[in-house]
Amino acid sequence: MDLNENQQMIRGLARSFAQDRLRPIAARIDESGEFPAATVREMGELGLLGLTVPEEYGGVGADTLSYALVVEELAKVCGSHALICAAHNSLGCGPILDFGNDEQRQRWLPAAARGEHLLAFGLTEAGAGSDAGGTRTTAVREGDGWVVNGSKMWITNAHYAGAVTLTAMTDPAGGTHRGISAFIVPKDTPGFTVEKKEDKLGVRASDTAPLTLVDVRLPADALLGEAGQGFRYFMKTLDGGRVSIAAMALGLATGAFETARDYSRTRIQFGRPISHQQAIQFMLADMATRIEASRLLTYRAARLKDAGRSYSREAGMAKLFASETAMFVCDRAIQILGGYGFIREYPVERLYRDAKLCTIGEGTSEIQRLVIARSLLQDD
């Protein structure tokens, strides 16, 4: 697929950074679960944490396709860095950029784009995951401000976020679509606690933790956009986030494929490389075909967003297909490597564990199918 000069330059920058700086540490930080603070700061210095933030707010002002290319390149090497970048750009910066006022953008986006702090997004609760409208966190008016009580789960970048944009019920009578509002909560607000980091199957170096809010008092200007519009804001934010998760899945799949292909050329069995065996060739062909289809779906969704056109269905398709492709490709890569695929000497077992998140986060595969089906039926 043709890329313009700027897109090629940004992709090259991300590729060099991933190969030179992330590849040497990816296995170690997966093993330890250590948050890679130094390389995250470097991402900020390179502009990778402000990719879609306009220049007037300290960002790069790149298009969505360039952003997807960056996430893809990071994920080829390290799923944790890809997720840190994706969650910060799409879920952290995205809602403030799209729905915040100029004062909120000036306050939060320049430092976030420079990597001085990350931004996070709080939607999921114990009873509100796929059912995003099941929010139980509440925000009650007190004077000119609000008092927030509740909790959130699975918050990426939680300990390193300067602020979290989260949903809370402000008008129970308004129901899901008119009763939920969005708020920007600074991390140092009294009563706001980031709990212990989760110990995860994959993307282990990314920071994921629950949040607790006990009588958190927020000023009036903490409200993001209009009261009662939080559910709509977050659904739109998730559409954009699904493009980045599709790109992450695409990168993980590509990294696993390249490892398996290269291994098949050097592994000798029965007197010749296993790449000469039809069974291996067929697996590689299937892997490459699904990767290319995922790339086309992902880039198409990104280009539709850049063109200002509707892309919700296409983002769902890209995220669904790319995430399930990542699981398929990583599984086949492990099979091609055999015993070596099952141990940590090669990266495919790590990529396999990282890929599983892509079928869950920002809407499970089952939710994507619902989104796609409803869109198709509405067209009828």
Q: Could you tell me if 114 and 58 are in contact, meaning their C-beta atoms sit under 8 angstroms apart?
A: yes
In whole angstroms, what is the distance from residue 218 CA to residue 121 CA?
17
Q: Which of 55, 258, 362, 366 is catalytic?
A: 362
Convert 8-38 to b/e letters by CB count within 10 Å (16 or more is b): eebbebbbebbeebbeebbeebbeebebbee
Write a three-state SS string for the chain: CCCCHHHHHHHHHHHHHHHHHHCCCHHHHHHHCCCCHHHHHHHHHHCCCCCCCCHHHCCCCCCHHHHHHHHHHHHHHCHHHHHHHHHHHHHHHHHHHHHCCHHHHHHHHHHHHHCCCEEEEECCECCECCCHHHCCCEEEEECCEEEEEEEEEEEECHHHEEEEEEEEECCHHHHHHHHEEEEEEECCCCCEEECCCCCCCCCCCCCEEEEEEEEEEECHHHEECCCCCHHHHHHHHHHHHHHHHHHHHHHHHHHHHHHHHHHHHHCEECCEEHHHCHHHHHHHHHHHHHHHHHHHHHHHHHHHHHCCCCCHHHHHHHHHHHHHHHHHHHHHHHHHHHHHHHCCCCCHHHHHHHHHHHCCCCCCHHHHHHHHHHHHHHHC
Concerning whether 195 is annotated as a catalytic residue, the answer is no
Per-residue tokens: 223: 């409200």
Structural contact between residues 351 and 333, judged by C-beta atoms closer than 8 angstroms: yes
Residue 332 CB-density burial (10 A; 0-12 exposed, 13-18 middle, 19+ buried): buried
- Indicate which residues carry an active-site annotation: 362
